[in-house]
Structure 1
Amino acid sequence: MSSKIERAFSGPALKISNFLDKFPKIHNVYFIACISTIAGLMFGFDISSMSAFIGSNPYGNYFNHPGADMQGFITGSMGIGSFFGSLLSSFVSEPFGRRLSLIICSLLWMIGAAIQSSAQNVAQLIIGRIISGFGIGFGSSVAPIYGAEISPRTRRGTVNGLFQFAVTVGIMIMFYICFGVGQINGVASFRIGWGIQIVPGLILFFGCFFIPESPRWLAKQGRWEQAEQIVANVQAHGNAEDTNVLIELAEIKEQLLIHEEAKSVGYATLFKKKFIVRTFTAIFSQIWQQLTGMNVMMYYIVYIFQMAGYSGNANLVASSIQYVLNVVCTVPALLLFDKIGRRPLLIGGAISMMIWQFGLAGILGSYSKPWADSGNDAVNIRIPESNKAASNGAIACSYLFVCSFASTWGVGIWVYCSEIWGDNRISQRGNALSTSANWILNFAIAMYTPSGFKNITWKTYIIYGVMCLAMAIHVYFGFPETRGKRLEEIGQMWEEKVPAWRSASWQPTIPIASDSDLARKLSLEHKEDAEFSDEKIQDVETNSV
């Protein structure tokens, strides 16, 4: 969006921001992250709301037992909305700020949940899921960028990892809610379950009134004093002279000055020579995350456990254990990504997931038998109840796959895609584009999987196993390490075409001031020119027109 267009929106944006700023603010970075990542919690709610009901009689009877293709479209319809929502999110978050985007996310989610809860037919259910998907698209694009922009650099991985943690918590909570209401013999079971989805939307809506705006966004708008105060409040309890605060402010100022002559930034910018490699890296990061097959395990876990010989409440209880493991194994990843790095965990996770996908395919291929009268168009094989060892082996592979994903790719990709750009100017557009790739693959996989189970049964898992091997190779050769690096260091690394396998030990060839130098330099500027922001940023905007 060009600076002229941004100026056209500057008046309304200022009014909206000022209105939101009238409410008291909580500057604890973990509180801020917990509010912003409710968008992830809502995504988790949606996954469980479908997985818990698609095998139930009330759902099947009311919606005329959808076939494999129709159930795939119902499940995947949220991904369609999320795809378009993520692409449109930057047109709101850039001129109007990150908080308004999160508010829109909550409103669309609640409207969609209300439509789903009152659905009279399949068409209305699909419409409700598409509208909710628009909200999730907004939230999943904006929340990681907001987290990266407001959190201290040393805690960026942990804070951004909370988005995926929120997804896993949402999956687990909603599954148990649906398990409870599923004991109701009638349509109230799924209507109550889908209606409860409104609750996290309400929490996000009201929570946005109590969190600060992104300081980087404020600096772009020329509101430097407010940006400076937020950085100080978040990182040092209001101490503007703290070393970490000065370093952060120096980085923001340098980013703005570097781009003072920058032209308009649109999606086409991402495919220019300077940015195209990192654009495709980010897009494939999100594509690969979907092609691990994790959402097969989440959306259609009931189908998988039916193939393994489980039914009724035994199926749901076994499924719920998987969701608990998903939450538990996400916690270590929040710490490991900042200690070990992005590349080792992504490569190790991909290889591990490949092993368990092949293991599940091998067990089902060797021990399952045709099951013609399953009552489900997508499930036509089953391990006999007499072969408990094979059933337990299949379930173990499923559990271990989820543990491998949750502790690596689940958290890792949202962190990686929020920091990979090395250029604050394109980060929002880039993150929106890469997130849209995640959602279009989400739709495709949700749509394809029931038909895959119907037509090639256990061979479906071989496809995902091969994809896991491919992504491990791609990470080794194409994903540079970003742990602990500042934005300008990441940008310089891309520009110098540093081989990904050497990126962890790479040092900038163009000198970048050390943290202490930046702090000392900015401390002097801070004392000499307290009005830096208003005058300098105005100059930036004037020169960029």
Structure 2
Amino acid sequence: MYRITNIYVLAGFGTIGGALFGFDISSMSAWIGAHQYLDYFNHPDSNLQGGITASMSAGSFGGAIGAGFVSDHLGRRWSLMIASVIWIIGAVIQCSAQNVAHLVAGRVISGVSIGITSSQVCVYLAELAPARIRGRIVGIQQWAIEWGILIMYLIAYGCSQGPQGPAAFRIAWGIQAVPGVILLASLFFFPESPRWLAGKERWEECLDTLAMLHGNGDRNHPVVQVEFEEVQEAARLAHESKDISFLALFGPNIWKRTLCGLSVQMWQQLLGGNVAMYYVVYIFQMAGMGGNQSLYSSAIQYVIFLVTTGVMLPKIDKIGRRFLLLSGSIICMALHFAIAGLMASRGHYVDQVGDNKNLRWEIKGAPAKGVIACSYIFVGFYGLTWAPTAWIYCSEVFPLKYRAKGVGLSAAVNWIFNFALAYFVAPAFTNIQWKTYIIFGAFCAVMGIQVFFEYPETARRSLEEIDHVFDTNIKPWRTGQIKDIFGEQIEQHKVQGDAREKEDAVHTEQV
């Protein structure tokens, strides 16, 4: 069967799995202020709305936990195919929702699919991509999430302006199945991960796949040979130990990597992205915007998110992971505190904002514009830094035998905090108002400290070289100085190849 071998085409189709995540985010955020949704589901209060929003994250947690086992046994490609089918089923159930329980069931099922794709797409792409561009390839998943958010938001906005009854949100939720169908169809033409093939000792297929991906089919290409040698060594080490459990991720030789992988996903959520994504309509309503004006402003925010991540992806491997994570935490901390200060000093308590009884704080005039500006700037820096980098980093830090389960557990941590925050933010705006931003600002300060002292640099290194980075005693803030062994090995292969060609030429002349 024909196999797609261009890494950018693979990334483009593969990261539709990320777009599913984006679709589900804005499939709810676009409707929480729409009268069709509110009337049909009897105006859910902040606690119920938090539960509806968080139900997707609950399913994603379960999917991410099981993803490592499925991926290790069936392969990266088949795990994504299973996730595609689950997503289609979840979309159909949401589309036909008759009550809140029915809707929650559909969101939980869709969440299971997102849990699998969010953890295994980045593993799959990290194992396919060459080291020099791995960051931008894996980072495309985050960009796909943002495309999904924007596309679904615009679809939902268009539907909200049309039918006045439940058909409005049913059409939007039904359209969610389309990217799942596209992903399922494209996966039939994808190669399996060469590192998974190596783990199953399918060496000929592994070498052929590496040759297709990195050497235009040439098995003897220097890059292919270097990758194959590293994959063989990593697979040999993996086979020396028995099948690992999640507890093995906290063993004496691996716990530091696990801490990095799990915490980077936790901090991505605690940075406050949920405030900006799930409940963006709430933020603008508190700032005095209502109706279509609030929806327009939300769409602008999603466009900013999309553009900033798109600008960063081509440069993300040159800049490095540590700088982006550190700068993102510091700037986002400042923006959270700025929003809190504006709302506390210039806002005031109200019984409700417009028709929304879940909101009890309002700010108007120039200070409200300041809140909106800070929200836009926050999303811009989030898109430049933590949004793509956290997914890249957790896919890089685990060695082969731990990778699928390690990234799966990391994604599960992301989802359990996503669940907690999706549920927490709605009642937080009701009960503690502007103090919500103080909490997220404090989280940003703590994460910056951990990044500086515990996160080594992983950019521009092969997955096997990253093993060496973690095994050294070099301080994390000095790991950017470690010599690029991968580049030297390729150069040595080229030099050796040139020398052999010269010897052959001399021998031919002598003959």
Moved more, 258-267 or 195-204: 258-267
Q: Aligned equivalents of 2:220 and 2:469: distance in 1?
A: 30
SS of match in other structure, 1:212: coil
Q: Aligned equivalents of 1:521 and 1:269: distance in 2?
A: 41
Render the CA deviation track for 1:477-496: whole Å, top value 9, x for unaligned.
01000011223332222223
Which amino acid counterpart does residue 383 of structure 1 have in structure 2? I
CA contact (8 A) 2:50 2:426 kept: yes
Which amino acid counterpart does residue 499 of structure 1 have in structure 2? K
Any residues of structure 2 matched to 1:138-537 within 5 Å, and which? 138-183=116-161, 184-374=163-353, 375-384=355-364, 387=365, 389-421=366-398, 423-507=399-483, 514-517=489-492
Render the CA deviation track for 1:329-373: whole Å, top value 9, x for unaligned.
001221232011100111011111111111111111122222314
Contiguous gaps of at least 5 residues in structure 2: 500-511
1:470 Cα deviation from its structure 2 partner: 1.1
1:520 Cα deviation from its structure 2 partner: 7.8
CA RMSD of aligned residues (A): 1.9
CA contact (8 A) 2:57 2:415 kept: yes
CA contact (8 A) 1:106 1:201 kept: yes
Which amino acid counterpart does residue 387 of structure 2 have in structure 1? G
Render the CA deviation track for 1:165-208: whole Å, top value 9, x for unaligned.
00011001111111100012111111111111001100111010
CA contact (8 A) 2:462 2:486 kept: no
SS of match in other structure, 1:32: helix
Percent of pairs with identical residues: 44
Which amino acid counterpart does residue 351 of structure 1 have in structure 2? I
Which amino acid counterpart does residue 240 of structure 2 have in structure 1? E
CA contact (8 A) 2:132 2:461 kept: no
1:228 Cα deviation from its structure 2 partner: 1.2
Q: Aligned equivalents of 1:247 and 1:159: distance in 2?
A: 20
1:420 Cα deviation from its structure 2 partner: 1.1
Instruction: Report the equivalent of 1:33.
Output: 11
Moved more, 66-75 or 240-249: 240-249
1:130 Cα deviation from its structure 2 partner: 0.4
- Tell me: CA distance 1:160–1:215, structure 2 relative to 1, closer, same or farther (3 Å): same
**Which residue of 47, 51, 73 maps to 1:73?**
51
- Tell me: CA distance 1:377–1:522, structure 2 relative to 1, closer, same or farther (3 Å): farther
CA contact (8 A) 1:379 1:454 kept: yes
- Tell me: CA distance 1:348–1:189, structure 2 relative to 1, closer, same or farther (3 Å): same
Q: Aligned equivalents of 2:498 and 2:118: distance in 1?
A: 36
Which amino acid counterpart does residue 128 of structure 2 have in structure 1? I
1:64 aligns with 2:42: yes
SS of match in other structure, 2:173: helix
Moved more, 228-237 or 136-145: 228-237
Contiguous gaps of at least 5 residues in structure 1: 1-22, 525-545
Q: Aligned equivalents of 1:103 and 1:168: distance in 2?
A: 22
Render the CA deviation track for 1:472-520: whole Å, top value 9, x for unaligned.
1110001000011223332222223321111111349x99973334678
Moved more, 108-117 or 260-269: 260-269
Which amino acid counterpart does residue 285 of structure 2 have in structure 1? Q
1:236 Cα deviation from its structure 2 partner: 2.3
TM-score, normalization by structure 2: 0.94
Render the CA deviation track for 1:107-126: whole Å, top value 9, x for unaligned.
11111111111000000100
Which amino acid counterpart does residue 342 of structure 1 have in structure 2? R
The total of aligned residue pairs comes to 497
Which amino acid counterpart does residue 187 of structure 1 have in structure 2? P
1:90 Cα deviation from its structure 2 partner: 1.4
Moved more, 141-150 or 497-506: 497-506
CA contact (8 A) 1:246 1:523 kept: no
CA contact (8 A) 1:160 1:414 kept: yes
Q: Aligned equivalents of 2:492 and 2:483: distance in 1?
A: 17
1:99 aligns with 2:93: no
Instruction: Report the equivalent of 1:7.
Output: none
Q: Aligned equivalents of 1:199 and 1:481: distance in 2?
A: 38
Q: Aligned equivalents of 1:259 and 1:67: distance in 2?
A: 51
- Tell me: CA distance 1:511–1:411, structure 2 relative to 1, closer, same or farther (3 Å): closer
1:69 Cα deviation from its structure 2 partner: 0.7
Q: Aligned equivalents of 1:251 and 1:227: distance in 2?
A: 12
CA contact (8 A) 1:244 1:519 kept: no
- Tell me: CA distance 1:431–1:522, structure 2 relative to 1, closer, same or farther (3 Å): farther
1:380 Cα deviation from its structure 2 partner: 1.0
CA contact (8 A) 2:351 2:357 kept: no
1:110 aligns with 2:88: yes
CA contact (8 A) 1:250 1:519 kept: no
Instruction: Report the equivalent of 2:108.
Output: 130
- Tell me: CA distance 1:185–1:348, structure 2 relative to 1, closer, same or farther (3 Å): same
Q: Aligned equivalents of 1:290 and 1:143: distance in 2?
A: 19
